[in-house]
A and B are shown apart, each in its own frame.
Chain A
Amino acid sequence: MSGEPLLRVRGVHRRFRTGPTVVHALRGVSFDVAAGSMVALVGRSGSGKTTLLNIIGGLDRPDAGTVHVDGTDVTALDEDGLSRLRREKVSYVFQSFGLIPVLSAAENVAAPLRLARVAPAERERRVELLLELIGLADHARQRPTELSGGQQQRVAIARALAASPQLLLADEPTGQLDAETGLSVMALLRGIAEAEGVTVVVSTHDAVMMALADRVIRIHDGHLDEQSAGQPSAPVPDVR
């Protein structure tokens, strides 16, 4: 784990207007995440976890504040810059997997590599490696509908890692999985993060998931829990 922060969030504010009502989703959120670490973003529904992840990944823009990923100010990038950032540095894992149903597991994993115009041979090698890593090498030709929910989420994780991002953002990746499958997915995420040296920020409200993180950041009504922002989490149980 490097001491330099890969992710630097400073004074991020985000308000949403719903008719006459203004909702303060984030109120001056600031924190750093060191490269190679796995951080769990914890809070109740509506606490601002997803909003924070979206702003970090450039899917949303803050009303105030900055976000730097590997030294790049995400909030200052235009759409093309953000696209490049997502191709090269940041990737996502969603609760609902988001796989393309007519593509096989291998083709889904290869999608970011196609966008990055990686040469076919290199692409195949990388896909093979990742499928091996998530334990689905035997299911490479199967389509998402032929896979279980846990397997689909593994493919989604492999796809997120395909382009060798520096930062992986996972928004409740186990939300549609049962507890056991969810735990194995989280363990996989943790293992791959270490293996690939990827920084992971994962939102969750599952206590077991939190236990796998290097650090837990609690968020409540748009504020970070002051005590959690810089504190490492409890020791990580070995579930791999």
Chain B
Amino acid sequence: MKRWLTRRWPALHWPSIRGRGRTDAGPLLLTAAVIAAVALLAGAAPALLRAAADDAVQDTVRRAGQDSNVSAHADWERDDGPTGGRVRAPRLAGNVDDFRARATYALGPDLDAALLPPVAVVNGPILSITDGTAPRTFQFTYLAGDLGGPAVTWIAGNAPGPTVTGEYVETPYGGPPWPVQVGLSEADATALQLAPGDRIPLSDGRGRDMDVRVSGIYRPADTADPAWRLALSLLRPVPGADGVGTTRFGGLLSRESLPDARLAVDQDQLRRTVHFAPEPDALTWDTAGALASRVVKLKATSGSSADRDESLKWESQLDTALRDARTRISAVLTQAAVLLTGVLTATVLVLLLAAELLVRRRTPALSAARQRGAALPDLGAELLIESAVVSLSAAAVGLALARAAAPGISWIGAVPVVLAGAVAGPAFGTLAAARASRDRRQPANPAARRWIRATGRLRRAAVEAAVLIPAVAAFGALHQRGLLPVASDGDTGELSGDLVLPISALALGALVGALVLLRLLPLGARFALRQALRSRRPLAVFGAARAATTAGRALPLLVLVSTMALASFALILGATVTRGLADGAWSTVGADARLDVGADAEAATPALADRIAAAPGVRQVVVAQVTDSARVFTESTPLTPRLVVVDADAFQRLLATTPLPNAPALARLTAPGPGPGDVPALVRSSDGVLGTGTRLQLTRDDAPAIRLTAVGTAPSVGGADDVVIVDAAALADAGLPAVPNTVWVTGPGAARAVSNSGVAADVVLRADVLRAQRATPLTTGLLRLAWTAAAVLLALGLLGLTLAAAAGASERWQTLTRLRTLGLRPRDARWVAAGELLPPVVVAAVCGPLLGVLLARLMLGPLDLRLLTGQAADPGVVLPWWLLGLVSVALLAAAATVVPVESALRRRDRLSEVLRAGE
């Protein structure tokens, strides 16, 4: 029985362990540096992305604004009195306070902690202002937070007071309108030309006059108070709130006038709602799922709006916003996981190459130890101790640095790297030592030699199948299920196990590509050798012979091709996202700059456009009336698309001269109408409801609706999914002249021109939008990771080239030395060396980026990059050829440096020493 089988522990020879470590300190330190660097990246990246995910959740909720509010409303208890009239409820404001407290309690502690203090809003119906010709509407509103309503200063008159002071008042149904006092903002009062004591000329939906009087005019203490956002008309007139061309005004109720407001309108027309705005800083990626579930549960268990009771009816888009954010974050996390898997795979390959180099250097010593009687388990244990110490300590350093950079690091990513670093060296070393004690002679029997070759081929085929089969499965899974986790309420948002395969698709694809090239390279090298043998140039023959000899070496080509392919993929990913963001900014703004003109200045828009057009550096100016949530009907369905009334020819020219998608269908808007009286329109809808031929009706308050007929597909305007575009002249002919409120401006001077417009307008600059989109946490995080991954992969590729050259140097210079014994001149030896080194490098430099392009074309679709760029569809693959060329040039330049450096180093070696070492 072998001695080592009877021992419990291997017999370690510590001086050998220390000696080997000292002798090969360079390669060991290199291995440690690679492990530390990649452990740093693999450890820090998930933590940084997790932090970015928290920021993204908060950012999403901030951007969603009022849409992310959680609101509850409930009907009032009926105010029928005992004598058949309606009873005034003097403590109605207290009732609202109770309602707010009830809603707050219903939220539950977790959701309550994530929301700001509530604001109760009591709204009256939309009333019509009956004087003047312009369609104007009015709504009175009561606001009440925990500390009362938003603070105001009464600059004229007083706060609204009660109409009556008695405790009990009952008013008959059908009686005269009940008087109610309201306050007006300065802006509203000025626009309506009203003063305290004036009666506002109002009528309700049934045409009955209302008795609403102005008690005073106020100035908000803080216009940024979140409560005002719930009723903007209390600050200033709001154009378009109740339809195209309308303007809404607001009247502020007080605790005292609220009971009168109830009696002033019909029983169910006063609506009370409690709004909870989210507190973005309290939201995290971890809590977002549970909060979204809580909101869904509230909505699911809330009473029906048809129920005439005081039960809470919940409404919110917060769950949708959080779900969208989590979807985007999941997409980015999987995109990052794809990149990191690629980096880890390349690192493992480089570590295997480093281990091969180490073992080649150690083979003589290991062989000698084996021949002296050292047992293989003992040698393996010695090597394992050394590699484990190196790998674990390097990983610890890397993870410690990662922890300093990003608390909450993930160590899982470092595991494959540490394993490769710890196991590869001992495995290769033990095999080398085992070979030393085997009969190395070539069998004289041809059948035995054939058997050896067949065994080798079978082994290789098994390895290739082990890569190919999972790769096919990974790409199948990637295209069938995509990369997003299957969302479910209450999911943790973590990357689940079923994503492992599709996430590995990139790395496996790169490996398969490299394996294919590994099959082809020897064929190419042999072809080149056959050609060289026909030539009279000996250097070509020997260079090609060396190339053919080493073309089958797997690790160098795998490392070079896969790192180049993966680096190229990372660059393409980064470039595609960058271009997608730029396109998204074009889509959002619609030009280099956009002016959203305020209601007060709408009349001045055409003159403003002329002024901007005359400014230096302005190429095009297009004005339009853009109305969000316009009231449009199909035969049976009300729709709220974005209505764009624009000069179709000018708009088409604008689209044709910008990166925005061209829309030739716009020409149909100025063609003769599809039917008598019909206005041609282009339509676009996310749900496919609208299509060519659809007939629509654009409603107006005081006139018959205008008939529209869809004659084509509209381009997306401002990123809206539901759009109706009509030509301004055609609509004016139909009786609705446009009131432009939007100015699109292109040209290098656009930003300056719109900034100095001198009218009340919101300026939206494409550059600002792009900057903001680039600054979003997820975008920043993924782009940084993509560029970092590309740099790391390129560095790994260059390191792989150096290691491959070093690993093969001994054998190469043995051969070159033998050729020199045949008369090869020293200066010619470097050309033969170049002939050996260059083919895999050239293959990697050319085919690596091409493989990266192929992988990008196969993978970027399922990566759902639109979730990152904010576009309606996934961005097209962008190939940054100059960057890809730079990657290739870097590799070729490194190879061109390695050959002369190696040649210069080896020239110092005596031929006799080289030959002796090779014996």
Contact = CB atoms under 8 A, between A and B. Distances in A.
Q: Do A and B bind each other?
A: yes
Interface of A: 50-51, 54, 57, 59-61, 79-80, 83-84, 86-88, 91-92, 94-96, 98, 100-103, 107, 111-112, 114-117, 120, 145-150, 152, 159, 163, 176
B442 A86 contact: no
A146 B449 contact: yes
B479 interface: no
Interface string B891-919: 00000000000000000001111011011
Q: Please list the 7 inter-chain residue pairs (A to B) with the smallest Cβ-Cβ separation, ordered nearest first.
A: A87-B823, A54-B912, A60-B912, A148-B444, A114-B538, A59-B911, A102-B548
A145 B442 contact: yes
Contacts of A100: 542, 545-546, 549, 815
Chain A facing B: main interface SS: helix
Given A107-B533, A152-B442, A176-B441, A59 B915 contact: yes
B835 to A, nearest CB: 12
Interface in B789-820: 814-815, 818-820
Nearest to B817: A59
Contact of B538 (A88, A98, A115): A115
Contacts of A88: 823
Interface string B125-153: 00000000000000000000000000000
What bracket does the count of chain B residues touching chain A fall in? 35 or more
B826 interface: yes
A200 B824 CA distance: 22
A54 B526 contact: no
A60 B910 contact: yes
B916 A116 contact: no
Given A59-B912, A117-B536, A117-B538, 14 more contacts: A59-B821, A59-B911, A60-B910, A86-B820, A91-B821, A92-B821, A98-B818, A102-B548, A111-B542, A111-B819, A116-B823, A146-B446, A146-B449, A149-B442
Contacts of B490: none
Contact of A83 (B444, B545, B825): B825
A18 B821 CA distance: 26
A115 B912 contact: no
16 contacts: A50-B916, A57-B821, A60-B913, A86-B822, A87-B823, A88-B823, A96-B918, A98-B814, A98-B815, A101-B549, A103-B545, A111-B541, A116-B823, A117-B538, A146-B449, A176-B441
Contacts of B913: 60
B825 A102 contact: no
A91 B548 contact: no
Contacts of A120: 536
A57 B533 CA distance: 28
Contacts of A50: 912, 916
A102 B449 CA distance: 16
A116 to B, nearest CB: 7
Nearest to B526: A102
B847 to A, nearest CB: 22
A159 B549 contact: no
B822 A54 contact: no
A124 to B, nearest CB: 12
A9 B638 CA distance: 111
Contact of B911 (A60, A111, A116): A60
Contacts of A87: 822-823
A54 B819 contact: no
B820 A83 contact: yes
A136 B214 CA distance: 119
Nearest to B537: A114
A59 B542 CA distance: 21
B197 interface: no
Nearest to A123: B536
Nearest to B548: A102
B402 interface: no
A163 B819 CA distance: 13
Nearest to A150: B444
Contacts of B529: 102-103
Contacts of A115: 538, 819, 822-824
Interface in B411-452: 441-444, 446, 449
A89 B626 CA distance: 95
A88 B427 CA distance: 47
A94 B818 contact: yes
Contacts of A96: 918-919
A157 B915 CA distance: 17
Interface string B1-39: 000000000000000000000000000000000000000
Contacts of A102: 526, 529, 545, 548-549
A114 B442 contact: no
Contacts of A145: 442, 449, 453
A28 to B, nearest CB: 19
Contact of B826 (A60, A79, A94): A79
B823 A84 contact: yes
Nearest to A86: B823
A87 B819 CA distance: 10
B536 A159 contact: no
Contacts of B443: 148
Nearest to B547: A102
A222 to B, nearest CB: 15
Contacts of B542: 100, 111
A143 B825 CA distance: 26
A55 to B, nearest CB: 8
B823 A112 contact: yes
Nearest to A80: B825
Instruction: Name which of A51, A59, A163 has the most chain B CB atoms within 10 A of its CB.
Output: A59
Nearest to A54: B912
Contacts of A57: 821
A152 B449 CA distance: 14
A86 B919 CA distance: 20
B676 to A, nearest CB: 85
A54 B817 CA distance: 12
Nearest to B541: A114
B642 to A, nearest CB: 70
Contacts of B541: 111, 114
Q: Which residue among A57, A103, A107, A116 has the maximum number of chain B CB atoms within 10 Å of its CB?
A: A103
Interface string B759-802: 00000000000000000000000000000000000000000000
Contacts of B814: 98
Nearest to A53: B912
Interface in B667-685: none
Interface centre among A54, A145, A163 (most CB of B within 10 A): A54
A54 B911 contact: yes
A216 to B, nearest CB: 23
B572 to A, nearest CB: 37
A80 B824 CA distance: 9
Contacts of A95: 919
Nearest to A90: B821
* Residue among B446, B453, B529, B821 facing the most chain A CB atoms (10 A cut-off): B821
Contact of A159 (B442, B446, B815, B822): B822
A150 B445 CA distance: 12
Query: Which of A88, A100, A150 has the most B CB atoms < 10 Å from its CB?
Result: A100
A86 B915 CA distance: 15
A97 to B, nearest CB: 9
A106 to B, nearest CB: 10
B629 to A, nearest CB: 75
Interface in B523-549: 526, 529, 533, 536, 538, 541-542, 545-546, 548-549
A144 B728 CA distance: 86
A34 B442 CA distance: 36
Interface string B701-714: 00000000000000
Contacts of B446: 146
A141 to B, nearest CB: 12
Interface in B441-477: 441-444, 446, 449, 453
Contacts of A152: 442
A137 to B, nearest CB: 17
Contacts of B548: 102
A30 B282 CA distance: 93
